[in-house]
Amino acid sequence: MEMRVAETNLHRAHTQAARRGSLPESAQVEAGSEALDRRGMRSVITRGSAIFYEGDPADWVYKVVSGAVRTSKLMADGRRYIADFLFPGDFFGLNDRTYRTFTAEAICDAIIVRWPRHVFDGAVADDPRLGRFLLTMLCGGLSVAHDRMLLLGRKTAVERIASFLVEMAARESRDRIELPMTRADIADYLGLTVETVSRILTQLKTDRVIQLAGPTHVTILDEAALRGIAEGG
């Protein structure tokens, strides 16, 4: 299995979507993933430490085994943009550049697998199905990116938080959400501040839309309402 792609990530959810969709080869691609996992190198990353930095050579491709990872970018004055949160099964660090355009850090203690980039390059060159698979994945990523640009450009703070919770719930495929990232991470992901994130979460709690049990546990009480808020209803 090979992935020579832009600095991008493949969510397990996207992979599942592709399998449900029109691409027969995606199932076969997945079938090879166990063997692939065995070929990769495993690393344990402690909470907060970096897997790679913006500007590093892009020599490896990664997959999250356990824990969670964030990819981010910094402006010169320290403003931060979080590109993505990665959970078990998600690929990251795929790149068509020689150097990293993002930093990747472990949000909590995590285990990752990694493969040398040329292994992926070779596999893609050999198997045209992989190329098509990648195209589909990239298209999915681009579609998600456009949804997020709409969010960042036009949605209010409540709508952003609601959208975020809906997204996270979809990726955990249940109503009980674990949020391993800090409020600051969420803020930088949604273009808000820590305080606003905190305030709006308590507001949603007050409105009986969600339930909060500690900072990391969120339960969706009224999914319809949450989706309604997310879409600006």
Residues at the interface with its own copies (CB under 8 A): 4-8, 73, 75-77, 79-81, 83, 95-96, 101-102, 128, 131-132, 134-136, 138-143, 145-146, 148-150, 152-154, 188, 190-191, 231-233
End-to-end CA distance of the chain: 42
Q: Are strands 91-94 and 176-178 parallel, antiparallel or unpaired?
A: unpaired
What binding mask, one character per residue, do residues 184-223 give for DNA by CB under 7 A, x or -?
Answer: x------xxxxxxxxx-xx---------x-xxx-------
The string over 56-78, giving b where at least 16 C-beta atoms fall within 10 Å of a residue's C-beta and e elsewhere, is bebebbbbbbebbbbbbeeeeee
How many residues of this chain bind DNA (CB under 7 A)?
21
Which is closer to its own copies, CB of 132 or CB of 171? 132
Residue type, 202: T
Q: Which two tokens stand for residue 228?
A: 């309604």
Nearer to its own copies, 43 or 101 (CB): 101
Task: Choose between 43 and 193: whose C-beta lies nearer to DNA.
Answer: 193
Under a CB-based contact definition with an 8 Å cutoff, are residues 73 and 80 in contact? yes
Q: Which residues contact 216 (CB under 8 A, 6 or more apart)?
A: 178, 179, 180
State the alpha helices, DSSP H only, in 100-127.
117-126
The answer to whether residue 80 forms part of the interface with DNA (CB under 7 A) is no
φ, ψ at 52 (rounded to 5°): -155, 160
33, 72, 101, 182: residue in contact with DNA (rule CB under 7 A) = 182
Closest contact distance (angstroms) between CB of 52 and DNA is 20
Q: Which stretch binds DNA (CB under 7 A): 1-9, 96-104, 124-132, 176-184?
A: 176-184
C-alpha span between 141 and 156 (Å, rounded): 23
Asked if 106 interacts with DNA (CB under 7 A), we say no
What residues line the site for DNA (CB under 7 A)? Answer: 156-158, 182-184, 191-199, 201-202, 212, 214-216
